[in-house]
Chains A and B, each alone.
Chain A
């Protein structure tokens, strides 16, 4: 236990966490040259394709310290994108120290700060690392000042490093051993471990990952979760290398896994406490916050018959994505599905993609929205996670929408454009603080509903990538919101309804009609697309009818070819959803996000 160190790597997105992790794995000989690739720990296809980390990833390393002793270093690489901060917070709860990586060419950015505070809240020892020192544009003086300012360390505490050249890797390992405290706990106390992640493996079933807080556990022990009291046999326990490495015993400080014949996904809950049945601990491990979803959207199977299948898939996905929450709902247009809460738009996109890739479930996503508060005449309040649930006008005193504090760090050259973007999104400037002579932190109070869609992308593009952004909930405020409905050939499509600020409703309605016209293919009859507020139509587009699609030739006996053609046509249609008489492709439901 004295020779275990648990630490995570935290930073703003793209500052080089996963690349630096590669160097650590290499230096400690944890993976062979052959297993080595760029960002080895990003093992999900989606992560590799997008070049970002989505999941935290724990791995054990063996390291011989300068004192000649062998240490076990448990590293957790974390994602940097705002939407995955829940992954970071769970990792932090399993560690005693954190490497705070700062890109020496970029300086401190929004998630550098927010992730740092997360770590400080849990009393983690912070080791600041100035990364990408190999680049000519690295500015260690300036960025070093920013770090010192931020965490109040000594310049000599900051380790200059490079995930490319390997600079600083030895020093980092040394600092981890010397500065990060060994795990504390009582070996003789009842076994107590915290579940921080889990995954469904089609060969091995449900695998839960945990960090031991007190006591020990052995293979074949009878174990249980505190929240459910369900008992299992620990069929296999072990530690996390690049693959699973079975062990007979795990003890304080160990980061490990358990396979125990858990049947149902919902039996495992991230944050739960694992203990042994023989000598159970009485207290749950704390320090785990529940997720607060920021964005809600309905997820529906493309094929209505796949509802149950979708539920199973989501339960399994939830094992590996504790920030995903959902409950059943139904839609007049789409039938049965689930209202899901996401941490942001990227999170929503990733969930949709993972369902498709890992579970072969194609889903339709409804227009995302935030969570509103409706004040009813009887004095009660109702949380509205779905625009369709909003009571009619007369049943309503007022509607409040969630606000956030948005913190934007930008080069001072872009203050003007960032300001006008935020004001356009109904933001109010709260403060403006110069971090250095040319870096400014702007704080805005803004409706969350305005930033969930395309704010982040817009911010990046207007600032040429130089602005970074983070946000925190800031209560609810009354707003002049209207419900905008979309109708296809007169049938209202509840899945496309949105709550919009009255001032934006007209232009929004027009743009969405135009976008839908682009996305809905021509049908056998004319399709009218209308946007309405209440009974008032505010915009209309029409899609002309297909007049001819029959391939006239079907002779010479070549019926196969024709059949294959129609099979293909049918397959294309299966990815669409019938709304009244109109076939609507999956993509159209996300039209609102692609408005410009």
Chain B
């Protein structure tokens, strides 16, 4: 489903591993909100978004929960006024990413009032030593409390973010997973710690001060989560995402993976429609001044049919639905399995590609146990 993404480019502190766009100077949040409201207007006026019916709204960051609830409400109101389809009173899913230390009765009420019905809580780990290592500003206990309180206040769609492949021992990871699965949540997003070059962690690794976890450790962590989540009733519906029941799947993110259009708002946000993908300038002051002058500070890229085919393949193979090669050929005029027949032989033969149970026989997916090498598999099918 078409969606709207809002990037809130502020954080109180920088996590050591994160390379998303954010600023830790919170003085200009007021100006930013004004700018964002203006951008909503400008996007609407551009007319290019008149077609799609937007069903989901997602606030990511950065840390959206650093903004006062009133500001958040002004933004959601403005977006609804411009982009909410007439037959709806609210989007089908309105998510906000929050940090545990920002969660209290007051903020929760504020988020409800602003129209959010789904929380994505940045827990990462329940182990305090790990949290400190990542430069997170909450404790494990705080995170547990935050989830409980959110649920009590009426949020019944709660997702947790966790990070695996940390230089921790197996026991710590298992405890984190077990704790998470015992909380009143219906969704987990779990990412392997990725060492990005322009981060504190990246620097430490390149200096040899810090070591990355070996493949075996990452694999063991992942396998533990897969099996524990399954026992707890979660569906593993995307490489890094688990949900309870069909209705637990994140609607907004699923839109990205199935090639739906999305509006991107705020510095560093990405948007996509037809064959255009754009990114809004990743610089808060420039963003504020440009939007102030009535300009959309985007840089955009035109996607070829082959790019789109490759993207569908790549995102599709990350899901439990998988991809239909025949369908790709219908859409983009090229069948990746035919032009890469070696890869087809290799991966269907070795069980890296199997027919899905979910859809018609045309659909193929990567089985869970091979998802960790999914990049190799999908890039083998890339059309060049």
Q: Which A residues are CB-close (under 8 A) to B350?
A: 525, 581
> CB within 8 A of A567: which of B5, B60, B382?
B382
Is B267 interfacial (CB 8 A cutoff)? no
Q: Give Cα distance in the complex from A489 to B380, angstroms.
A: 20
**A460-486 vs B: 1/0 string, CB under 8 Å?**
000000000000000000000000000
Does A563 contact B375, Cβ atoms closer than 8 Å?
Answer: no
Is B277 interfacial (CB 8 A cutoff)? yes
Stretch at the interface among B23-31, B76-84, B148-156, B309-317: B309-317
Does B7 contact A556, Cβ atoms closer than 8 Å?
Answer: yes
Stretch at the interface among B86-94, B101-109, B213-221: B213-221
Stretch at the interface among B43-51, B284-292, B366-374: B366-374
Q: Give Cα distance in the complex from A546 to B277, angstroms.
A: 33
The total of chain B residues at the interface (CB under 8 A) is 52
Is A549 interfacial (CB 8 A cutoff)? yes
Q: Which A residues are CB-close (under 8 A) to B269?
A: 556-557
Does B310 contact A567, Cβ atoms closer than 8 Å?
Answer: yes
Is A156 interfacial (CB 8 A cutoff)? no
Is A550 interfacial (CB 8 A cutoff)? yes
- Say whether, besides A557-B262, A557-B264, A574-B384, A562 and B379 are in contact (CB < 8 Å): no
Q: Give Cα distance in the complex from A30 to B139, angstroms.
A: 82
Tell me the minimal C-beta distance from B328 to chain A in angstroms.
14
- Say whether, besides A524-B376, A558-B270, A569-B375, A550 and B382 are in contact (CB < 8 Å): no
Does B215 contact A547, Cβ atoms closer than 8 Å?
Answer: yes
Q: Which A residues are CB-close (under 8 A) to B332?
A: none
> CB within 8 A of B5: which of A524, A556, A560?
A556
Does B375 contact A549, Cβ atoms closer than 8 Å?
Answer: yes
- Say whether, besides A524-B376, A558-B279, A581-B350, A550 and B239 are in contact (CB < 8 Å): yes
Q: Which B residues are CB-close (under 8 A) to A525?
A: 350
Query: Across the A-B interface, how many residue pairs have beta carbons closer than 8 Å?
Result: 113
Does B373 contact A549, Cβ atoms closer than 8 Å?
Answer: yes
Tell me the minimal C-beta distance from A141 to chain B in angstroms.
59
> A interface, how many residues as a size bin?
20 to 34
- Say whether, besides A551-B194, A553-B191, A546 and B310 are in contact (CB < 8 Å): no
Is B74 interfacial (CB 8 A cutoff)? no
Tell me the minimal C-beta distance from B214 to chain A in angstroms.
8
Is A153 interfacial (CB 8 A cutoff)? no
Does B371 contact A547, Cβ atoms closer than 8 Å?
Answer: no
Q: Give Cα distance in the complex from A531 to B319, angstroms.
A: 41
- Say whether, besides A553-B240, A557-B269, A563 and B314 are in contact (CB < 8 Å): yes
> CB within 8 A of A563: which of B311, B371, B377, B380?
B311
Q: Can you name 15 extra interface pairs (CB under 8 A) apart from A553-B240, A570-B380? A: A546-B373, A547-B215, A547-B373, A548-B373, A550-B192, A553-B191, A554-B256, A555-B189, A557-B256, A557-B262, A557-B270, A563-B314, A566-B310, A566-B314, A574-B384
A-B contact pairs, 27 of them (CB 8 A): A524-B373, A524-B376, A547-B372, A548-B218, A548-B219, A549-B372, A550-B239, A550-B374, A550-B375, A551-B194, A551-B375, A552-B240, A553-B191, A554-B239, A556-B20, A558-B279, A559-B277, A559-B314, A563-B307, A563-B310, A563-B311, A563-B314, A566-B379, A569-B379, A570-B382, A578-B342, A578-B346
